[in-house]
Structure 1
Amino acid sequence: MTQPPRSRRAEYAAATQAAIIDAARLLFARNGYFATKVEDIAAEARVAPATVYAVTGGKRGLIRTLVDLWSQAPVIAQTLSRQETLTDPDEILRRTASVVRDMRETYGDIVRLILTTAPHDTELAEDLRVATRRYRDAIEAVAVRLRDVGGLREGMTVAEATDILWFYFGYSGYFTLVDDNGWTYEQAERWLVAQAAAALR
């Protein structure tokens, strides 16, 4: 069934919301969550401060939107669906590493923001807990698939495999190799796949 075209008002509202979210993302990454004011976001988005509150719920609503943008990105569900068709453990690991890399390149600024801000904000800490649970659930799904196709060492449980996959493909792997060590994403991706494969089998 064809969706009716959006009205001009709806298009304007969507564009305004997107501009506010983009402005908040830019300023949060540049200045930090606490140092960024709603007035700064409004100025960057070229709207009134009242519009920021009305459209997005202010800073609190904006950072929650950014958490959801990252932790519920459509590529996650698409990847898990595709994993169900793969039978080669190495291909499953390569695909996992590739998607985590894409996520980190696309949403790394949001991840860094949440990880550094959550320890100082109880509500954001809860948002991070929810996001981490989503992330680990996706990693666990990879572990289950690896078990199902014979990609785990004999006797290794899904829980153990999930922990190993999290070590390599959780928050710290790419950040450590790329940000701290100066590796390229390509180098990091290849190394993470090789090390994860060796640890799992």
Structure 2
Amino acid sequence: MARRPYVSRVRVQAALETHAAILDAARTLFAEQGYARTSVAAVAERAGVAVNTVYTSVGGKPALIRALGEDGAADEVTREVLDQVSRLTDGREILRVTAHGTGEVTRRQATTLKVLLDNRTSDPAVADAAALAVRRYRASLGRIAARLADLAVLRDDIDRTRAEEILWFYFGTSAWNAVRELGWSWETAADWLTTQSSSALLEPPPHRPPAPS
């Protein structure tokens, strides 16, 4: 029987830490200097590794920017939100969780989003990475739209596709940028977006006549 190759956990952990350090360095430099003006050598110096290590761990600049986009799209908060949504049955609560979750992801990934959005017209690699991040973000919102549709809580004139579009309108990057530019706190913005998206997407609660006096 052939022996399995030995894999050192220490080496694996060191490789993961090196990979993370390189991405952190690239994220910082791309935000500070712009994608076009940042070299792989500068990323290596900031990360404290050899230039060749950047290439073997991640790749050149196109690979770095793509990895940043993938890293942002794979934020663990997104997974937690989707897990919660899959177990919830109340439409407004689903939208509340979505609002606070997308706000948290936007806050955590602010630098990556800035890099992608500010540099996407300067290089096709950045444009591709930004498009990938948007597709994955919208795919997550699509799963939330599907959950709302499955629960039959959407307004009669809204199907799953339109629900995904409305979720993108209220919880996409442009929406979060707009409310933050107004100076609103994350909590205030999330509560407002919950209320507005609920009105746009959900069937209104049944009217209850006032209780007799």
What is the TM-score with the length of structure 1 in the denominator? 0.89
The match for 2:65 is: 63
Q: Which amino acid aligns with 1:164?
A: I
Q: Secondary structure at the match of 1:84?
A: helix
- Cα separation, 2, equivalents of 1:126 and 1:45: 24
Q: Is the deviation greater in 61-70 or in 39-48?
A: 39-48
Q: Which has the higher helix share?
A: 1
- Write the mapping of 1:76-91 to structure 2, written as runs, cut at 5 A: 76-91=78-93
The match for 1:159 is: 161
The match for 1:34 is: 36
- Cα separation, 1, equivalents of 2:165 and 2:127: 21
Q: CA deviation at 1:193?
A: 0.6
Larger radius of gyration between Structure 1 and Structure 2? 2
**Residues 35 and 6 of structure 1: is their aligned pair in 2 closer, same or farther, counting only changes over 3 Å?**
same
Q: CA deviation at 1:78?
A: 3.5
Structural RMSD (CA): 1.9
Q: Is the deviation greater in 95-104 or in 129-138?
A: 129-138
> Is 2:186 aligned against 1:185?
yes
- Write the mapping of 1:22-171 to structure 2, written as runs, cut at 5 A: 22-171=24-173
**Residues 153 and 23 of structure 1: is their aligned pair in 2 closer, same or farther, counting only changes over 3 Å?**
same
- Cα separation, 1, equivalents of 2:133 and 2:16: 25
| Alpha-carbon contact 1:79-1:99 (below 8 Å) kept | yes
Q: Is the deviation greater in 115-124 or in 84-93?
A: 115-124
Q: How many residues align?
A: 197
Q: Which runs of 5+ in 1 are unaligned?
A: none
**Deviations for 1:59-110, whole angstroms, at most 9, x for unmatched residues?**
2221111111011223323322321211111110011011101111111211
| Alpha-carbon contact 1:32-1:113 (below 8 Å) kept | yes
Runs of 4+ in 1 over 6 A off after TM superposition: none
**Residues 81 and 8 of structure 1: is their aligned pair in 2 closer, same or farther, counting only changes over 3 Å?**
closer
- Cα separation, 1, equivalents of 2:14 and 2:22: 12
| Alpha-carbon contact 2:40-2:51 (below 8 Å) kept | yes
Q: CA deviation at 1:119?
A: 2.0
Q: Which amino acid aligns with 1:200?
A: L
Q: Is the deviation greater in 64-73 or in 121-130?
A: 121-130
What is the TM-score with the length of structure 2 in the denominator? 0.84
- Cα separation, 2, equivalents of 1:42 and 1:193: 43
- Cα separation, 2, equivalents of 1:136 and 1:10: 32
Q: Which runs of 5+ in 2 are unaligned?
A: 1-5, 203-213
**Residues 123 and 42 of structure 1: is their aligned pair in 2 closer, same or farther, counting only changes over 3 Å?**
closer
Q: Secondary structure at the match of 1:186?
A: helix
